[in-house]
Amino acid sequence: MSEQTPAAVFLKDYKVPDFLIDKTELTFDLDETQTVVTSRLHIRRNPESDAATAPLILDGGEDVKLIGVAIDKYELPKEEYNVSNDKLVITATPDAFILTCETLIEPQNNTRLEGLYRSSSMFCTQCEAEGFRHITYYLDRPDVMSVFTTTIIADESRYPVMLSNGNEIERGKTEDGKTFVTWHDPFKKPAYLFALVAGDLEVLNDTFTTMSGRDVALKIFTEKHNIDKVDFAMDSLKRSMKWDEEVYGREYDLDIFMIVAVDDFNMGAMENKGLNIFNSSCLLASPETTTDDAYLRVEAVVAHEYFHNWSGNRVTCRDWFQLSLKEGFTVFRDQSFSADTHSDVVKRVEDVSFLKTAQFAEDAGPMAHPIRPASFIEISNFYTLTIYEKGAEVVRMIHTLLGADGFRKGSDLYFERHDGQAVTCDDFVSAMEDANGVDLTQFKRWYSQAGTPILNVTDSYNETTQTYTLNVSQMTPPTPNQPTKLALHIPVRAGLIGPDNQPLSFTVDGKEQTEVVLHVNQAEQTFIFENVASRPVPSLLRGFSAPVKLDYGYTTDQLLQLMSGDVDGFNRWSASQQLAVNELLNCVQQYQAGKDLTEESSLVSGFESLLADSTLDSAMVALILSLPSQAYLSELSGVIDPHAIKAARKHLRLLIASSLEKEFKKIYEANTVTDAYQASAGQIAKRSLKNAALSYWVASGNDEAKSAVVRQYRNADNMTDQFSALSIIVNNQLAEADDLMSAFFEQWKHESLVVNKWLMLSASREQENGLVQIKELMEHPYFDIKNPNKLRAVIGGLGQNVETFHNLDGSGYAFLADQIILMNKRNPQIASRLCTPLTRWKRMESRLSEKMKSQLERIASQDLSKDVYEVVSKSLA
Ligand code: PHE
Ligand code: ZN
């Protein structure tokens, strides 16, 4: 452990800044190894601060070298300022002044990918959350908002494109023959939204006419060889702009909107004002190189970053504890956009499945935190599924409680009231309350309480009085620092299904209806439905109306009935999941008891009728066919036994495959897409069903199926079909696997993003000496440890490789720990994210648990970055 234990910061300690920066003027003299940054900050004391004589304390980084500092025209001698612990402190300042500061930074050596860094041949920046302090000394906090003017100086032959936020206002030559370009952003913003890009880039141009008739220039920049892959992103951008006008009444504000793709990026993308920077994996798309899933991700991320222009930029966060204010809301917005663009049920199933797998696991682990955390050591660790996905669920519940119109009134008021401000989650909820005249006091507990609530439901039916009663109790398990919890306000959307698979009507609150939102807001409650004609099957939590675990003892017959008869598409899927989970967990137990796994499965008959019903949406059928994942079953297990889960899944898959071989063949053959590739809902649905069927058909061992999958691989004209075929061939260990893996690499080695897919599949591949293979991959000439996408591909593949990662000798965990230790100083954000699987150690079966723990202890004995320290120390606590 490092000498000093990194300290936590607390929400309760928030104080307004002592100083404000009205204007920020920056000059970058760009150079790979020695970039000089000159800043002129127009500073004044904050009238709202109660410390009238407070010193000026600016944030910096150990990688920023201070050359000189002046107040107005006066160059400060060394005795008049102090640099220590990454802070620049000036004790005596006037009440208003211009601070000039010259710093030296080394973009070439920036491996953390925060601040100004190099990615292949270009310069780019990443400033959220606290990256700007790695460029120059500043009040690097989101409630300090400033108008930025940025001048970039560089050699034009190598960096013909030089970009920053806002509009280009000037361009010319310097005395020594370099080029300078000046950008001005009229909107006040915090430093985390600053961006700069320079490189030899190609551009795709387009325009968008806003609702008030203004023309906005749209520009997407990439390195030359990728410019043919941004048409889909451009189209997504224009559709997002239109959608935000129609659904939220939000118009774009600048005359230009730019997006740049970079290869080396810690996250998905970044919403810098007027100059979004994207991980190329979230921007580039072409039919031959990009799968359907990746297309949908590009569309969603383009929308997400664009939507931040209002939910994040025009109205930003007061402090980083409020991160979910912009992220939860913006995820909700991008989810709604995708749902409107494609199928809302399919989108909901995908989002909920992800939430229940990964966010629920986070909520049950040592890093559990509320969507508005009360403290943190390193903010980068809090860009979590809880802040993003659960945050979106909380916004969605507000939408459910207020209805679409009420929600829109609330969002209008929020944007109007707070435009140009840095605000809190409470401000958001207040706008919702005030616009609708409602009281959300109890609801707000969702912001401060961590953990996933469990809803326990029992029922009874009285035939004589025709009343149906639901008894609902709620309980949220303890999480770190929160041993006891208060009752939450949980909206439960519900309906009743009759014996003939028809929705039953009922009377609640004196109103006859077929669907109701129950307001669960006490520890225990009873809900009475009157005039219920016969004993119903309850369809609860429709559309997943709240992020909770629902515990109602459904019988297999009831689940089969919901699966085929519920009017709520989401709950049809949900019932099928529950059925599969029950059978799989049963197999897990049999495996652990050393018994033969059951040869009976009601899923077989369930799937049989599903496949026979041609009226169903293909995408839904494909989703239902995909069994609950290894990760989801782990989340559901009290004690996680990865080997037993794997065996159970494999067994059930084979059982279904062999029982329904003919049906799968038929579905496979019936769902061929003959039109030219499009990432449309219709085509995606067909491909996903076809490939799901193919996967089962091949698993049945049928020879015709084996030829079909190899044929599909060879004939595919799009990456979805090609890669699905390859994965099926590899996962079923067909004889062609080795040859086709090599052929795939040879075909695509010039496409970095496709190489990542190959790396991932190679790493996840079950083989004798799995770890040796993985080590070889990391030595491969096309692997690059500096590129987070490549590292994530290999480590992600390892994580899916149950035999290798969870090897009982602990070698998989030791290997992961080696990578964490290696990345700890190089790129702390990535290192910290790699720790996630190890944070689950307490829930693993005892042998694996011990091995994981000892690797965590080995990591803890190193000199750690704040990022890794926080995760590891909290996991061991
Ligand atoms: N704010 C970005 C987003 O969600 C995510 C991000 C965070 C990117 C931190 C980089 C660094 O859209
Ligand atoms: Zn975001």
pLDDT tens readout for residues 430-441: 999 999 999 999
Q: Which residues line ligand 1 (CB under 6 A)?
A: 126, 128-129, 267, 269-271, 304-305, 327, 383
pLDDT digits (tens, 9 = 90+) for 370-409: 999 999 999 999 999 999 999 999 999 999 999 999 999 9
Ligand positioned closest to the Cα atom of 269: 1
Q: Calculate what percentage of the chain has a pLDDT beyond 90.
A: 98
Secondary structure (DSSP) of 404-429: HHHHHHHHHHHHHHHTT-EE-HHHHH
Which option is the CATH number for 569-876: 1.10.10.10, 1.25.50.10, 3.40.190.150, 3.20.20.70? 1.25.50.10
pLDDT digits (tens, 9 = 90+) for 477-489: 999 999 999 999 9
Q: Quick one: which atom of ligand 1 is closest to the CA of 327?
A: 4
* Nearest residue (CA) to ligand 1, atom 3: 270
Q: CATH 1.10.390.10 residue ranges in the chain?
A: 315-448
661 CA → ligand 2 middle, Å: 44
Q: Please state, rounded to an integer, the average pLDDT across all residues of the chain.
A: 97
Q: What is the pLDDT of residue 1?
A: 42
pLDDT digits (tens, 9 = 90+) for 238-253: 999 999 999 999 999 9
pLDDT digits (tens, 9 = 90+) for 636-673: 999 999 999 999 999 999 999 999 999 999 999 999 99
> Is the entire prediction scored with pTM above 0.80?
yes
Residue 466 pLDDT class (50, 70, 90 cuts)? very high
Q: Quick one: which atom of ligand 1 is closest to the CA of 380?
A: 9
CATH of domain 315-448: 1.10.390.10
Among the listed residues 661, 668, 567, 584, the one whose alpha carbon sits nearest the alpha carbon of residue 618: 668
CATH of domain 454-546: 2.60.40.1840
CATH of domain 9-307: 2.60.40.1730
pLDDT digits (tens, 9 = 90+) for 737-786: 999 999 999 999 999 999 999 999 999 999 999 999 999 999 999 999 99
Is residue 544 helix, strand or coil?
A: coil
pLDDT digits (tens, 9 = 90+) for 267-289: 999 999 999 999 999 999 999 99
Q: What is the pLDDT of residue 23?
A: 99
Residue 565 pLDDT class (50, 70, 90 cuts)? confident
- 114 classed as catalytic: no
User: Which residue stretches of 593-679 are H helix?
Assistant: 602-612, 618-625, 630-636, 642-659, 661-670
806 CA → ligand 2 middle, Å: 33
126 CA → ligand 1 middle, Å: 9
Q: What is the pLDDT of residue 4?
A: 72
User: Is pLDDT of 68 > 70?
Assistant: yes
Q: CATH 1.25.50.10 residue ranges in the chain?
A: 569-876
418 CA → ligand 2 middle, Å: 19
Is residue 812 helix, strand or coil?
A: helix
Rounded CA gap, 877 and 873, in Å? 6
Kindly provide the ipTM of the predicted complex, given to two decimals. Answer: 0.99
Rounded CA gap, 159 and 76, in Å? 35
Amino acid letter at 741? M
How much is the CA Rg of the chain, to the nearest whole Å?
Answer: 28
Rounded CA gap, 380 and 365, in Å? 18
User: Is pLDDT of 50 > 50?
Assistant: yes
User: Is pLDDT of 722 > 50?
Assistant: yes
Q: What is the pLDDT of residue 396?
A: 99
Q: CB neighbours of 558 closer than 8 A, spacing ≥ 6?
A: 537
Reply yes or no: is the peptide bond before residue 129 cis, omega within 30 of 0.
yes
Q: Quick one: which atom of ligand 1 is closest to the CA of 131?
A: 11
Mean pLDDT over 526-535 rounds to 98
Mean pLDDT over 695-699 rounds to 98
Rounded CA gap, 315 and 309, in Å? 8
Q: CATH 2.60.40.1730 residue ranges in the chain?
A: 9-307
* Nearest residue (CA) to ligand 1, atom 9: 128
150 CA → ligand 1 middle, Å: 22
Per the document, the length of the chain is: 877
368 CA → ligand 1 middle, Å: 20
Ligand 1, pocket-test mutation among 271, 317, 332, 833, most atoms within 8 A of CB? 271
User: Is pLDDT of 557 > 50?
Assistant: yes
Exactly one of 223, 299, 305, 663 is catalytic; name it.
305
Ligand positioned closest to the Cα atom of 279: 1
- Region of 281 (left: φ > 0; alpha: ψ -120 to 50; beta: rest) is alpha
Q: What is the pLDDT of residue 2?
A: 44
User: Is pLDDT of 3 > 80?
Assistant: no
